[in-house]
A and B are shown apart, each in its own frame.
Chain A
Amino acid sequence: MDYKYITQLLERYWQAETTVEEENILRAFFSQTSIPEELEQYRCLFLYEATQSKTDTLGSDFDSRMLALVGEEESDGVKVKAHRITFKERLYPLFKAAAIVAIILTLGNAAQFSFNGEADSTAPAPYHTVHGTSVAYNDSATIDTLLQRSMDTSSPVDNSELVK
């Protein structure tokens, strides 16, 4: 395998002419297990560069101490995130309750209606006769006059009764 590219990169690295990306390539190359002998000596340099970010860190006890110092809440490693609730969302349980009440009322009405409907079907007669007579009244002028007359006869009686 040809390591010319790596050798060139390394040469430019010493001259401080490599880019960040090229330096990443070098670190990736030197993190391999098999490296040609002439480059082996530089392995520990790039290995150290690549691993320091994992070894030299501050632990969670530092976090707790800092959070206590600035007075920000910490709840045993459980992250508490503020959750914004809009006005609508706040009323949501109310909507739910209202919806339940509406459903119960609708069902109740429907049930009542169906029970009443059953009760009506057992006694269908009066409705029919009422309809029939009203039509007759409307059509007949004689009935109207009869009615008028009966009103005329009845009214003085009523009045006299009232006077008494």
Chain B
Amino acid sequence: MIKQVSFRNDVLPLKNALYRLALRITLNSAEAEDIVQDTLIKVWNKRESWAEIDSIEAFSMTICRNLALDRIDRRGSHNASIDEQGIDSQDSAATPLEQTQQRDSVALVRQIIDTLPVNQRMCIQLRDFEGKTYKEIAAALDMTDEQVKINIFRARQTIKQRFTQIDGYGL
């Protein structure tokens, strides 16, 4: 029997993970939204050949990554605009002062991660934010498991180093 596919149930639920990946690559929310739109349309238009695809999610991630990398190539990766949108995290801090401090420090972490090389950014996004395995990340990003691990290792080393620096100056 032919499996019934619907855009709403099979493609649309991927939007947020794709958006976060695109955002981590482009660092611009409007561009990331455009990329997700294009990705979802491409995936939907390929629905006839979904049977040959192992994981629709990994397939979508790959398309999203390619579109996002195209974008930053086109505008030149050196003048990457850092998105200045505020983070409305529902944090557990009690007082407004603590909340502000926590928000500031979260913004700082975001800045640290967003200044990593793009390959490390993509790997760390899929690992530490989306909770994917090395194998899943490798499939999504067209890398080997080993490359994924190296990228994550380097990214975490840099993050740790930045934390030590900040701690030295006194946060």
Residues of A within 8 A of B (CB): 13-16, 20, 23-24, 31, 33, 41-45, 47-49, 51-58, 62-63, 65-67, 69-70, 72, 79, 82
- In the assembled complex, the CB of B80 is this many whole angstroms from the nearest CB of chain A, namely 17
Q: How far is the CA of A15 from the CA of B152 in the complex (A)?
A: 9
Within 8 Å of chain A (Cβ to Cβ): is B95?
Answer: no
Would A70 and B110 be within 8 Å (CB), given that A47-B89, A58-B15 are in contact?
no
Count, A-B residue pairs, CB within 8 A: 98
- In the assembled complex, the CB of B121 is this many whole angstroms from the nearest CB of chain A, namely 13
Fill in one digit per residue for B129-140: 1 if any A CB lies within 8 Å of its CB, else 0. 111110000000
A-B contact pairs, 20 of them (CB 8 A): A13-B156, A24-B131, A41-B163, A43-B105, A45-B163, A47-B91, A48-B106, A49-B128, A51-B106, A53-B129, A55-B87, A56-B16, A56-B23, A58-B36, A62-B36, A62-B37, A66-B7, A66-B15, A67-B8, A70-B41
B106 touches A14 (CB 8 A): no
Contact partners of B102 in chain A: CB under 8 A: 44, 47
Would A55 and B19 be within 8 Å (CB), given that A41-B167, A70-B41 are in contact?
no
Chain A's closest residue to B133 (CB) is A20
A57 touches B109 (CB 8 A): no
Within 8 Å of chain A (Cβ to Cβ): is B143?
Answer: no
Contact partners of B49 in chain A: CB under 8 A: none
